[in-house]
Amino acid sequence: MNPHRIHRIQQMEEIYDRIRKDIATLREYEESGQWLQDYEADERGEIPRDLKRGVLSQDGLGEVFEEAKSLPSPSRKYPVLSEASEIGAERCR
């Protein structure tokens, strides 16, 4: 076993898990109505202008969600994995 490879995979798994959780949190923020309340407060000038608030742009969250969907999945990048998954699924039937 290659300890550097194991460490790298562990690091990438942590990033992967964090990104999935963060995107879920952003989606909940948008769907809860809190985003709209914050957006409207910003429009009324209730949010300091020097506060970073890109998340309040009308298209900001939508772009993040679209980017997340467009990230290549391992199965698209590595067709061998897709084939192996299909073979495994076929064996389970």
In sequence order, which residues have a C-beta less than 8 Å from that of residue 26 and are 6 or more positions away?
55, 61, 64, 65
| pLDDT above 90 for 86 | no
Torsion sign, CA atoms 88, 78, 24, 33: negative
| pLDDT above 70 for 79 | no
**Whole-angstrom Cα distance, residue 7 to residue 25?**
27
**Whole-angstrom Cα distance, residue 76 to residue 30?**
29
Between residues 89 and 67, the one the model is more confident about? 67
Mean pLDDT of 38-61: 92
* pTM of full prediction above 0.75: no
Which residue matches tokens 């467009």?
70
Q: Where are the domains of the chain?
A: 3-92
Q: Report the half-sphere exposure of 17 (CA within 13 A, side-chain side).
A: 6
- The pLDDT score that the predictor gives to residue 14 is 92
Mean pLDDT of 73-79: 57
| pLDDT above 90 for 91 | no
Least confident range of 3-7, 28-32, 60-64: 60-64
**Whole-angstrom Cα distance, residue 42 to residue 49?**
9
